[in-house]
Structure 1
Amino acid sequence: MLKVLILLGLVLAGAAHANPSGTLRVIDADTVDVGGLRVRLFGLDAPEIGQPCVLGGQTIDCGRWAGDLVRARFGGQDARCTTRDVDRYGRQVATCDVGGVDMGQVIVAEGWAVAYRRYSMIYDLDEKAAVLAARGLWAMTMDAPESFRAARNAAPAAPDLACNIKGNISGNGRIYHRPGNRDYDRTVIDEGRGERWFCSEADARAAGWRAARN
């Protein structure tokens, strides 16, 4: 039995860190499907779908714009990817070779995404060249994708500062989060779904919520 569990663990570990290969389908400018696996391209960060940028006085959806350009350049081609990590969403974080070129390097060099220096400097010089040439995003006015996501995902403050306990409903049930809990800041209360604010833990427990573990 122990041998079976060990073998199963090795199989699962191998699947989690697979090197995807096959026909490439573009989801957006930094996310693709390769051989049935979802891949987050390593070392770069693309604008989000719905993220506004200003080009020549006109506002465009630069996430969709960038995704369309990556799709036109790489979509439907064969890719061989090298996985470096697996992210919290279960995606392979990988560099991908398409037709003998590093896909991520092309994307950053063309200005369709930014170098994600928080994780790697691999495309630092490619971005600097794109900036100097005012290519792609660097011809526009935009927020860094990471800054845009942070502003979009920022949870609103409690309507009453004395009632700042968040009663969240998820697949794990009814859970309340106190200030200082790990997930407090990213938990957003949707009162239309029955979620609510509480003034005390006693109130939350009496209403059927349980405390978050972290």
Structure 2
Amino acid sequence: MALRQNDAMGSSRDYKRGAIMGLTVAEAFILLTFVLLLLFTWWQADAEKKSLEAARILGDMSDAQKKEVIAGLADGTYEMARELREAGVRPGDRAALADTANYSRFMREEDLQRLLKGAVELSPDTKLTLADAVEITPDMRLRAALQEAMSPEDGLAQVNKRLAAAAAEQERVVGMLDSELGEKIRAAGGAIAADGTITLPQNILFDVGSSQIRNPTFLREFCTPWIRTLQGSGMDISDLKIEGHASSEGMGKQSPEQAYLYNLGLSQERAQNALKTCLGGLKDPEILAWARDHLSSTGYSSARLVRDAEGSEDKDASRRVMFSMEMNREQLIEDIREDLGATGAGGARLLGNETPALRVEAAAVSADVGEAIHPPRRAAPILSSVVPGHDGQAARVIDGDTLAIGDQRWRILGIDAPEMKQSCRKADGSGFACGAAARDALVDLIGNSGVTCEQTDTDRYGRAVGICRAGGRDLGLQLVAMGMAVPYLQYSDSYRVQGEAARAAKLGLWSGDFEMPNEFRKLN
């Protein structure tokens, strides 16, 4: 009896071996499954409750609101809202919302969306760095940096200031001339131009066909205050010039070529006699010495005719004597070159770098200054002397024998002008920039006229070679006749006669000593 009782107890211990909390593995698995079913049932009921709530809210929405919700889900608006919330922007943060609204006024909506999306996607370290930068940057320093970045005092701004100052200086001197001489000049039928050039009709100084001064007293009473005013003006003047001009008419039955050469000699003699009379009227030794250093004379024959509105020659207006002045542009040009060569914002060089707007040809700086200071006499010499051109396109004067019309460069046939870097000597032995002078002569010849060129060949540099005309005048012929270019006999002898006449009359380059342009190119 006792043995059976022990067996029963041992069998009970074997049954509980491997139990969990008094339960067998099988019993525990059944219990766990039951609990999971209860949890799933609770989650399903909660989800169903939320779905019913969402369904209720959607049911209360209008059709327009439902479309807006669907659009927000499709375009990422709600995803962005979630990310902003995670980034710390709360729905009730009105200050943050107001800042965003203020900034967004200056941005397109799509750019603002990209900015906000990019901001929430930044790494935490980056966000911290930006926050620190905003907090530690003084407001005044930030404003100062922005001010400097937005309005740098670069080379171009300084160039504009220099040109404006030069123009203002010339305007001041022209005002002085008008105050001193304006009434007397206008009473004689003359005029003072905006660049200070004074024009007197021929009949005030000369009889028809004569080079003798008809009224020396009038000329002396004009020249003395003219020179005295300019000498004491304080403006840096490089040249004063007395110019003789004529109409295209000659004497008797002269041919056009004979009339041109006759008027060339006559206009030159008239200008020289006017210069002698002017110098003879100066009594102050200091003013006389200054005048001798600055005053010269030249005759243009009919090279610079005055035309009426229809383009016809105004013969009476063409017969005139002009008294012009030139500001000393050499120092101004050098200052401008230094301005353009200075380091601009960001450390970029403003001259000689890859900035397209600043690629200026050799003639550009001088021409630019010439336009700013002498707008009435230089037709439009801005950046290589832009002038009205062929087929309505802008023509640029590159040098004394080269034009650019549109994208095509033109080499004027039959002439050779000094190179831009070439210097020549005057009769008194002093040097002058004859390359620039030849370029300026071509600009003056074109004036406000349109330019047309007829191609005859193409040179080895790809330039079109041809005869170019402005206002019906052959530009090559005029330049050679003025002595500002020589006949290029290697390619054409069309202007041989004009070249010989200019040499005999010692006009332009021929008045002093110079090296033939083709020889200069070989050595340089």
Asked if TM exceeds 0.5, the reply is yes
Higher relative contact order (CA 8 A, sep 6+): 1
Distance in 1 (alpha carbons) for counterparts of 2:447 and 2:408: 15
**Equivalent AA in structure 2 for residue 88 of structure 1:** R
Tell me how far apart the structure 2 counterparts of residues 21 and 142 of structure 1 sit (CA, whole Å): 37
Match of 1:145 in 2: 517
Runs (4 or more) in structure 1 with deviation over 6 Å come to none
Letter aligned with residue 150 of structure 1: K
Counterpart of 1:206 in structure 2 is none
1:80 counterpart SS class: strand
The answer to whether structure 1 residue 131 and structure 2 residue 503 are counterparts is yes
Change (3 A) 1:125 1:21: farther
1:101 aligns with 2:473: yes
**CA deviation after TM superposition for structure 1 residue 79, in Å:** 1.3
AA partner of residue 54 (structure 1)? R
Corresponding position of 2:411: 40
Instruction: Please give the alpha-carbon distance, in whole angstroms, between the structure 1 residues aligned to 2:472 and 2:423.
Output: 33
Q: How far apart are residue 76 of structure 1 and its match?
A: 5.1
User: Which whole-Å CA distance do the structure 1 matches of 2:440 and 2:452 have between them?
Assistant: 21
Write out per-residue CA displacement over residues 57-85 of structure 1, whole angstroms, 9 at most, x where no aligned residue: 21112111111121122155311111011
- Tell me what 2:399 maps to: 28
Using the alignment, how far apart are the partners of 1:73 and 1:105 within structure 2? Answer: 11
How far does residue 35 in structure 1 lie from its aligned partner after superposition?
3.9
For structure 1, the 5+ residue unaligned runs are 1-19, 153-214
1:63 aligns with 2:435: yes
- Using the aligned pairs only, state the percent identity: 41
Q: How far is 1:36 from its partner?
A: 3.5
1:122-142 Cα distance to aligned partner (Å, 9 max, x none): 110010111111110110201
Residue type matched to 2:422 in 1?
Q
Per the alignment, residue 201 of structure 2 pairs with: none
Question: Relative to 1, partners in 2 of residues 1:52 and 1:76: Cα closer, same or farther, differing over 3 Å?
Answer: same
Structure 2 regions of 5+ residues with no counterpart? 1-389
Please point out which of 107, 110, 113 is paired with 2:482: 110
Q: 1:25 to 1:75 in 2, by over 3 A?
A: farther
2:453 match: 81
CA RMSD of aligned residues (A): 1.5
Q: Distance in 1 between matches of 2:409 and 2:448?
A: 15
Q: Which has the larger radius of gyration?
A: 2
Structure 1 window deviating more from structure 2 (68-77 vs 29-38): it is 68-77
State the number of aligned residues: 133
Q: What is the 5 A alignment of 1:159-170?
A: none
> Which secondary structure state, in structure 2, belongs to the residue aligned with residue 70 of structure 1?
helix
- Report the Cα distance in structure 1 between the residues aligned to 2:448 and 2:456, rounded to whole angstroms: 23
Paired amino acid for 1:92: A
- Contact preservation (8 Å) 1:24, 1:76: no
